[in-house]
Chains A and B, each alone.
Chain A
Amino acid sequence: GAGVSQSPSNKVTEKGKDVELRCDPISGHTALYWYRQSLGQGLEFLIYFQGNSAPDKSGLPSDRFSAERTGGSVSTLTIQRTQQEDSAVYLCASSPPPSTDTQYFGPGTRLTVL
């Protein structure tokens, strides 16, 4: 079946602009996660959704970062007033119920802030 999809695959923006990254989880997956992968580094947890609510937002680096999920499906990660240090690959993952640990990843969005 279809895996987790993300769009766009690549995004180049100028410092100070806002960006929106989209994640479509696997159909029926209730848990959704966002991670960030900087060059040569492991993945860094950002936020966890269960349905439309976000019980854990502790990994969001600053208040410029926000995420929402509607209809228990699609999620959007928004970064306001982007900075060069925001450049990274942003990965989304989802889990089938009732699991929240077996996570299947999307291909990521590579964000470059000039």
Chain B
Amino acid sequence: GENVEQHPSTLSVQEGDSAVIKCTYSDSASNYFPWYKQELGKRPQLIIDIRSNVGEKKDQRIAVTLNKTAKHFSLHITETQPEDSAVYFCARGSGGSNYKLTFGKGTLLTVNP
């Protein structure tokens, strides 16, 4: 189907630890995978994205890995800080030019000081 499965639904880590969130999908035609961060009451913010021609992308403490064969992609946050606490959503693009984003149900990340 078109769904994106996201795990875990909640994640609690200590400041300085790493956090990993994983998403799986079934549509092999997907080739665009963004991650959004949404703080309470705020708009979703694009934090990193990856396209299917690469397997990994990094931006400072954030990295995303993609395994197209297994149809899963993951968000890795290293050296977590309290301000990383938020809901994180993965998504996949479809519809030819990837305009239609299908989102996972989100992961509530809590970073404890």
Contact = CB atoms under 8 A, between A and B. Distances in A.
A48 interface: yes
B46 A104 contact: yes
Interface in A58-114: 59, 91, 95, 100-108
B100 A107 contact: no
A91 B44 CA distance: 9
Given A91-B44, A105-B43, A41 B32 contact: no
Contact-residue size bin, chain A (C-beta under 8 Å from the other chain): 20 to 34
A4 B98 CA distance: 20
B44 A101 contact: no
A3 B45 CA distance: 11
Given A56-B95, A101-B93, A102-B49, A45 B100 contact: yes
Contacts of A102: 34, 46, 49
Interface of A: 3-4, 31, 33, 35, 40-45, 48, 56, 59, 91, 95, 100-108
Given A33-B101, A102-B49, A103-B101, 14 more contacts: A4-B43, A42-B6, A42-B89, A43-B44, A43-B103, A45-B101, A59-B100, A100-B98, A101-B49, A101-B93, A101-B97, A101-B101, A102-B46, A106-B43
